[in-house]
A and B are shown apart, each in its own frame.
Chain A
Amino acid sequence: MTLAIEATQTPPAEAAQPFALELRGLSRTFTLGGGLLRRGRTLHAVSEVSLRVPRGQVMGLVGESGCGKSTLAKMLLGLTSPTAGEVLIDGRPIVGTAQKALARHVQPIFQDPYSSLNPRQRVAQIVGLPLRIHGIGSPREQAARVAEMLDLVGLPGRAARQYPGQLSGGQRQRVAIARALIMRPALVICDEPTSALDVSVQAQILNLLLDLKEAFGLTYLFISHDLAVIEHLADRLAVMYLGRIIEEGTREQIFSAPRHPYTRALLASALTPEPGLGVPDIGLGSVQPDPSAPPPGCAFHPRCPLAEPGCSQQRPLLNDTGGDGRVACHLA
């Protein structure tokens, strides 16, 4: 299989095609602690997120815990419905699409291969389940397709008869990948797919994900807190802070010239294996944001080393940077 480098350049012809994934003003709120007579507080988990992912590209999504990454992923999978805005997959809105039909187009790979696989089913049953649900092929054809898929993800043939408990963490994640891809979805939501794995195994799984993307022309939304992994994999990158995208652009732009102070702090806090550099002072205070009570104005201003009085007054809009990127900061 070839390297995925050429996929990083978008051919001009693709501009005419619909985006593999498009989000338009997507929002989701939750009500906290409401009662019969008392109105609860509103938690804005995701606010007005707009994003376009061209086909065959990898969009990295980064941000701290509680920033809304996982709620966003759930909406794309149809597991949570948005309060406002819409999700388009291949140019078609997913509103009204039955869960079963949606599952043919978009599939998830989750972080923990220990809890996302049924421990009482054999690998062949787990991977073949989507085919049975959708009634694709005869049992014999289904078995053949499962065997082919297991081979593609690098599992030995005997794995088909094993239970998840008999497999290593890396092998389980391969099973989860096989299950996600057996319906040949166009879009795969990878939610921290290598975070629970050991370093030596993580490299194997990242290589596999790159190979499969190339082989099937997949589009990934890749959620991770590991910036080295994102930099290695992603063509574009979106940074979220308290439910909003605060910066978005190509990998080169964001890693070489981040505009938002939060993006800069995030990149500075990535500890690359270079001895002698010490631990950087990233200049954020010890205050952690509370998603249910976001600060007024720019939500980042209480931690921002550059904040000015105006930053607590008005929320900055996500504006084009002039290049192929967007940033939401009064000072950028």
Chain B
Amino acid sequence: MPLLTVEELHVDLPVDAGTLHAVRGIDFHVERGEMLCLVGESGCGKSMTSMALMGLLPRRARVSAASLRFDGIELLDLTERARSDLRGARMAMIFQEPMTALNPAYTLGNQLCEALLRHRRVSRREARERAIYLLERVGISAAAERMAQYPHQLSGGLRQRVMIAMALMCEPDLIIADEPTTALDVTIQAQILRLLRDLQREFGTAVIFITHDLGVVARIADRVAVMYAGEVIETASAEALFAAPGHPYTQGLLNCIPAPGKTPPGSRLQAIPGVVPSLVGELEGCAFRNRCPLAEAICETPPPATHVGAGHVARCHFAARLADPARPPQPEVMP
């Protein structure tokens, strides 16, 4: 049984112009101990999905789902109190900007121990020992002295290490990491990703890693779910997704990034023309069809979830043709 199963998740937000359908009926699951990357561009609903899982959506948001099952528990049936008991204890979150996620008025030690003292029957001393142990594990030197420091005394990279230690305090089953390295320099990013990957394997924690960076996805993901306009349009293992994408959007995204050795320097990059459709009001058919080089009349009908390989599903009328490595499709190069 997967650790987390999401079926038909919807998140709606009332806006001036009507209702914004931020997440439009998505299905995915997370196995125990795996790294699932949720990838997509801004506004695709990836952060809204994570907030819905954590129960941290703004009050005005409306969530519905056929099932949102975490280790056999239906999350949407829980009281707010019970949800809050899960948060921090069994599901933890790492945010993009550790400076805003950490409380500037409390010491690191205070914040690290807080969740453990709240959720587990431990003494202050035990909590402190675990905090120091984890600070050392995330590569922070002089951990005992750091416990008395405040967030502003740390660099961005160190703060993100503290966030990771904090997320691990209660040994959660699931960590949701929302763009945790986007604000960091590339050298620090590589170090933090390596650390997160190593600890995730060692502790057997499942991670939903939210990112827009396909380079990061390729290097850390076990499986990938690609989101576009509030829908999951493709799920696959990392290898399958990069070798034979089954959706023209995924393929377009991969073509957009200059690939050293493949893209001649200074040559034109393939771009995806046009913009994401508005998510206010209803969308009919395939949401990508107005930007898609393969679009035909049939794309005005909802695309079926097509199995194109083991554990590889793409929502496209042409998915089978696209993902066939024997016949690599050659969509027109858009000017």
A and B: interacting chains: yes
Residue of A nearest to B155 (CB): A288
Interface residue ranges of A135-186 to B (CB < 8 Å): 168-170
B interface, how many residues as a size bin?
Answer: 35 or more
Give the distance in Å from the alpha carbon of A280 to the alpha carbon of B216 in the complex. Answer: 11
Residue A65 at the chain B interface, CB threshold 8 Å: yes
A288 vs B140: C-alpha distance in the bound complex, in angstroms? 12
Instruction: Give the distance in Å from the alpha carbon of A280 to the alpha carbon of B239 in the complex.
Output: 18
In the complex, the number of residue pairs spanning A and B with C-beta atoms less than 8 Å apart equals: 146
A240, B312: Cα distance in complex, Å: 43
Binds B, one of A28-36, A126-134, A262-270, A304-312: A262-270
Q: A3-B266, A225-B186, A279-B219 are in contact. Are A207 and B271 (CB under 8 A)?
A: yes
Min CB distance A59 to B, Å, is 14
Tell me whether B265 and A199 are in contact (CB under 8 A): no
- A210 and B268: CB pair below 8 A? yes
Residues in B neighbouring A268, C-beta threshold 8 A? 190
Chain A, 201-230, contact with B by CB distance < 8 Å: what is the 0/1 string?
111101100100000000000000101110
CB–CB B266/A5 < 8 A: yes
Choose one: B42, B161, B189, B193; the contact of A286 (CB below 8 Å): B161
Determine which residue in B41, B158, B269 has the highest number of CB atoms from chain A within 10 A of its CB, and name it. B269
Q: What is the 8 Å Cβ interface bit string for chain B, positions 205-238, against chain A (1 contact, 0 not)?
A: 0000000111111111100000000000000001
**Cβ of A277 under 8 Å from chain B:** yes
B197 contacts A279, CB within 8 Å?
A: yes
A275 within 8 A of B: yes
Query: Whole-angstrom distance between the alpha carbons of A273 and B242 in the complex?
Result: 8
Q: Which one of A168, A201, A266, A276 lies within 8 Å of B187 (CB-CB)?
A: A266
The contact of A273 among B140, B194, B214, by CB within 8 Å, is B214
Q: Which of B140, B218, B256 contacts A271 (CB 8 A)?
A: B218
- Interchain CB contact (< 8 A) of A279 among B139, B193, B242, B272: B193
The CA-CA distance from A141 to B91 in the complex, in Å, is 62
Known contacts A273-B214, A279-B197, A286-B158; is A229 also within 8 Å of B266 by CB? no
Besides A203-B257, A277-B218, 5 new A-B residue pairs in contact (Cβ under 8 A), listed by A number = A207-B271, A266-B186, A270-B215, A273-B259, A286-B191
